[in-house]
Chains A and B, each alone.
Chain A
Amino acid sequence: NAGVTQTPKFQVLKTGQSMTLQCAQDMNHEYMSWYRQDPGMGLRLIHYSVGAGITDQGEVPNGYNVSRSTTEDFPLRLLSAAPSQTSVYFCASSGGTYNEKLFFGSGTQLSVL
């Protein structure tokens, strides 16, 4: 049981490039979410999903896109990377509803130059 797996662990992009951060969970959780963590800002919710085919925006969705074609996977796409998107990104899942215990991945550290 791997839990929540994020890839890659580190990534450097140039401004304007696009990329996809991968997130997979093997716990059959319906709820999955993406947060970004910036120094002094805590964690901020980007997008979330309550099941396959259902996604919604969080607090800071601009510049990001998500889809949920399967229960296991919830990729986060950066459409045109900007330096303001330099951050650590965490994927999380829950076996309950929106606000039960979250299981977090180990994070992706992204730098946009």
Chain B
Amino acid sequence: SQQGEEDPQALSIQEGENATMNCSYKTSINNLQWYRQNSGRGLVHLILIRSNEREKHSGRLRVTLDTSKKSSSLLITASRAADTASYFCATAAGSQGNLIFGKGTKLSVKP
């Protein structure tokens, strides 16, 4: 399985601080995606980074991908209480591979 594995499992920070979550995976990938899940809700797509990309930005989100280390990081800058959620990475191997999700990082942002 090339399931991504997030680290840490849980993260608690104060509002205004930056939050960094990491994802490691096992095999070569086509792309890597990050999703957010608020409590009791469905997952929402945040960002997709392809295997030939090294960094991508979207608003306060910054994603990096290091294919040599088989790892990715998600940085949320200037966090807000509304960023409190679980964050999942998902990887896909090749054009025929379904997305496989990690177990997630639970982020708590305290006001």
Contacts and interface: CB of A to CB of B under 8 A. Distances in A.
Interface stretch (B12-20, B38-46, B58-66, B70-78): B38-46
Contacts of B95: 97-99
A102 B88 contact: no
Interface string B93-111: 0011111111110000000
A14 interface: no
B30 interface: yes
A99 B104 contact: no
Given A42-B101, A48-B98, A58-B98, A101 B48 contact: yes
Contacts of B99: 45, 98-99, 102
A101 B45 contact: yes
A93 B98 CA distance: 12
B29 to A, nearest CB: 9
A101 B95 CA distance: 13
Given A42-B3, A105-B42, A106-B41, A99 B101 contact: no
25 contacts: A35-B101, A40-B103, A42-B3, A42-B101, A43-B43, A43-B88, A43-B101, A59-B100, A90-B43, A92-B43, A98-B95, A98-B96, A99-B31, A99-B92, A99-B95, A100-B31, A100-B48, A101-B48, A102-B35, A102-B90, A104-B35, A104-B42, A104-B43, A106-B42, A107-B40
Interface of B: 3, 30-31, 33, 35, 40-45, 48, 88, 90, 92, 95-104
